[in-house]
Chain A
Amino acid sequence: NFVLTQPHSVSESPGKTVTISCTRSSGSIASNYVQWYQQRPGSAPTIVIYEDNQRPSGVPDRFSGSIDSSSNSASLTISGLKTEDEADYYCQSYDSSNPVVFGGGTKLTVL
């Protein structure tokens, strides 16, 4: 089994850019796509990035995703931060033995 490790929390000011990392413990990050979900308090998660760097329709282009094989990690970057971006963010991936694996989640505070 592999683990996806995220920072517990990040904070940044409105208008700035923040990056949330997601590091895979074993196996290559590039072997299986990474998705990112946003979860606001009291609500179900919603998809913001799929297939490492693709945005579903309706997600602002302020959200972007990438992977870095050298650090075996994926990243979610949110630019032009808005107070409405304040939420928990979860990365998710899989492999042949583990159909769905979620990261521990990162609480984004926009202050």
Chain B
Amino acid sequence: EAQVTQNPRYLITVTGKKLTVTCSQNMNHEYMSWYRQDPGLGLRQIYYSMNVEVTDKGDVPEGYKVSRKEKRNFPLILESPSPNQTSLYFCASSLMGSSYSNQPQHFGDGTRLSIL
């Protein structure tokens, strides 16, 4: 089954304790992206990647890191989490190229992070 898998689904942790949210897709998609979703603000892009070892900042990258060592995986790293990073996080992936411009992004089930 084609899917984007995120782990963990839920996490409560404390300020300053490094954490990683994993994201894996089995559709051989080049493009992967991380979003956070907050009430009234919609989905905002944190980081994205267009291929292995190619990553770039989105609209709200501060406090986050990513890596893309393999095509299927795109982990989100919070080196020193703070309470303002409490949010619902989604990973998404899609095909790239002009032939696929109508192809949507596929989303994982989300990770709810609470930073105390």
On whether the two chains bind one another, the answer is: no
